[in-house]
């Protein structure tokens, strides 16, 4: 299902549901959990503005969702980047868990992921493709090769960095 729109913002506004990839979620989680590390994570040269943009985006009236595979990948990246032990993981979920709990969830059966030809992208990315196929949820991702693949397959995707630059840093 492809919608005709003039800008990425129009595409964003027209979405019934948006499923978020790990990249933008990781930037937001970092800003909420370890703001001092935001400059190391952001894709642009304005880390506070980038976090604020994502925060406004995620608290807008749009329906945002994640898959369990994206949540797992987020936890892996948070643990790795911040070298968290068990107590640190608990601290992360105490500070960011409420936000994650308010977000919708799209569950994808593991068999569908394992059997998908796109498995080379990884479990989280395949779960996003399946979320689109099963629910029509638009994808928000910062993974440029993945976004190009989605565009090639006529899958509704918003490439995060372009979306941020087009709508915030004018």
Name the packing angle between helices 123-135 and 144-152 (round to 10°). 30
Distance spanning both ends of the chain, measured CA to CA: 30
Please give the pLDDT value at position 1: 38
Q: Where are the domains of the chain?
A: 8-167
Please give the pLDDT value at position 117: 74
44 near 165, Cβ under 8 Å?
yes
Please give the pLDDT value at position 162: 87
Q: What does the block give as tokens for 9? A: 């913002």
Please give the pLDDT value at position 168: 64
CATH number of 8-167: 3.40.50.1010
Quote the distance between the C-alpha of residue 156 and its chain's center.
14
R_g of the chain computed on alpha carbons: 15
Please give the pLDDT value at position 14: 76
**Segments of the chain scoring below 70 in pLDDT:** 1-8, 168-170
């Amino acid at each position: 299902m492809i919608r005709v729109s003039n800008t990425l913002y129009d595409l964003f506004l027209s979405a019934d549901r948006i499923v978020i990839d790990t990249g933008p979620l990781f930037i937001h989680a970092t800003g909420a959990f370890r703001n001092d590390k935001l400059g190391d994570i952001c894709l642009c040269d304005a880390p506070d503005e980038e976090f604020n943009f994502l925060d406004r985006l995620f608290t807008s009236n749009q329906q945002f969702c994640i898959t369990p595979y994206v949540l797992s990948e987020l936890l892996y990246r948070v643990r790795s980047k911040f070298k968290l032990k068990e107590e640190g993981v608990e601290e992360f979920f105490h500070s960011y868990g409420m936000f994650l709990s308010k977000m919708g969830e799209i569950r994808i059966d593991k068999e569908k992921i394992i059997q998908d030809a796109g498995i080379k992208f990884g479990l989280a990315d395949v779960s996003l493709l399946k979320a689109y196929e099963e629910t029509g949820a638009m994808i928000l991702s910062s993974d440029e090769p993945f976004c190009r693949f989605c565009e090639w397959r006529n899958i509704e995707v918003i490439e995060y960095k372009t979306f941020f630059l087009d709508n915030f840093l004018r």
